[in-house]
Amino acid sequence: MVGKITRAYERELKDGDVKMTSPKFGMSILFFFLCISFCSSTDQSFQQCFSSHLPPSKITYDVIFTQNSSQYSSILQSSIRNLRFSNASKPRYLVTPYNENHIQATIICSKEHHMHVRVRSAGHDYEGLSYISDVPFIVIDLFHIRISAKSNVHGFPAGSCPTVGVGGHISGGGFGTIFRKYGLAADNVIDAKMIDVNGNVLDRKSMGEDLFWAIRGGGGASFGVIFSWKLKLVRVPPTVTVFKTLKTLEQGATKLVQKWQNIAYKFHHDLFVHAVIQVTNPNSNQNPTVQVSFDCLFLGTTERLLSSIQRSFPELGVTQENCTEMSWIQSVLYFAGHSIAESADVLLNRGTQSTQSFKGKSDYVKEAIPKMGLEGLFKMVAEEETSMFILTPYGGRMKQIKSSATPFPYRSEYIYGIQYMISWDVAEETGKRIGWMRRLYKYMEPYVSTAPRAAYFNYRDLDLGRNSYPNTSYVEASQWGLKYFNHNFNRLVRVKTLADPHNFFWNEQSIPVLRLE
């Protein structure tokens, strides 16, 4: 029948002025027309399913967006933070729920229509897994669900990038400038609400302690859709202090990093000093060089900070003139790159879009890297002017929490973590830049943790391994799972098997389901 229609279409072209008579052309035009009809019918079917699973009072008409919707592209692009994936496969539908009923209906109807679900909180998944897929899928974008209460005397130990979504940040662990005193974001969760694979609303009591354990560091997207967190806020002092000290290699940065490795994790838990390694061009008459920025947040006054830092790390040369006192919420603005004179409302601006592609990786360090290793690292850094590495000190409260308390395992044995990053503007540079990052990662192998070589789940890295579709074996998934979760991976697999036995919430690095071989 298709052949007859195609030949008839070719005869029409021959009888007219158009001379394109290729069977492939005719078939592609036919498929286009058939797809329009089929896709339109499917869209109506999905939307009807969606509405049928909502209470009448919850039905709205600006929740589901198809690829033909006028707002589809702007919503999809709004949270793509890595341009490397801007031209990847696109979801069949974007669902922007206002409440849990919309999430329930989406999960139920996605199962009925045999489509995968990806959940996007703010699009910071380093490998784009919250908004791309190789199979038919739907994106649930949670940007409308932003309910919160606030306090002038409390803070929360979370990260410093303001456009990171709370859902992924907390469910993957979540560290920031005050985690040495208060632990990870995931360590300070009291309760959570999520929609499971059957469309049920679960809280801590109804989900049980095993599932509650799993979503606090094991990644929420493997188990359901988390739409609410109840958090334990922490008391912050009325005054905190920050400073930034910049040193190039010519100014002795190598020796400073050597010492930083041995003391930063031992500092009092009120003191956080991380090291940021980048390439800088001092002036037009000199070649680029490596620069290290030592950035500090101290939970207290300048006087107390100077007393501590001048005693433990005098080589930094910090003086009162380097220090700025502010409130804790102003320090959040400061580390996010905003003026502390701005309103904190600027942190709610979700519209900041990336203009670059990037690749990230991570490591954890148990013993200080020797001078020779640092020199080799700095030599490689100097090759790529858009590279950046952040060295984050552990210790403090992180040493006091058991490695099995949450799925995030990297606690007392580790002195600092490393985030590697490289960015680029031109798509043609992708292979070169990623190739350089992989060579650097190989170079660092002798100096970082082993058995397994640890990695941070929130810095997702598909180089570590990926799941086969539609399922994967435990052995296959353990290639990446043990790196993220170490000994906690086995428990995560058991929880996943009970919570989502048919592996509906699958992605390239979702927790696998145990199956009888």
Q: Residue count of the chain, please give it.
A: 517
* CA contacts within 13 A on the Cβ side of 224: 31
Place of tokens 């990230």: 360
Contacts of 98 (CB under 8 A, 6+ apart): 60, 63, 144, 145
Q: Strand 93-95 to strand 137-141: parallel, antiparallel, or no bridges (unpaired)? A: parallel
Element (H, E) at 491: helix 489-499
- Is the separation of the CB atoms in 185 and 397 below 8 Å? no
What is the number of helices (H) and of strands (E) in the chain? 16, 16
Place of tokens 């008409």: 61
Contacts of 190 (CB under 8 A, 6+ apart): 204, 230, 231, 232
DSSP code, position 157 = -
DSSP code, position 140 = E
Distance between CA atoms of residues 298 and 328, nearest Å: 10
User: Which sequence positions are flagged as catalytic?
Assistant: 459
- Is the separation of the CB atoms in 121 and 130 below 8 Å? yes
Give the dihedral of Cα atoms 218, 224, 227, 230; nearest 10 deg. Answer: -50
Token pair of 146 as six digits? 């932003």
Q: Kindly give the residue spans of alpha helices, DSSP state H, lying in 290-385.
A: 302-312, 328-335, 371-381
- Is the separation of the CB atoms in 392 and 416 below 8 Å? yes
Amino acid, res. 405: A
Contacts of 508 (CB under 8 A, 6+ apart): 127, 129, 462, 466, 467
Backbone phi, psi, residue 433, to 5°: -70, -45
Distance between CA atoms of residues 82 and 358, nearest Å: 6
Residue 67's nearest CA partner among 94, 41, 97 is 94
Token pair of 300 as six digits? 């207290």
| Distance, first Cα to last Cα, the chain | 44
Amino acid, res. 442: K
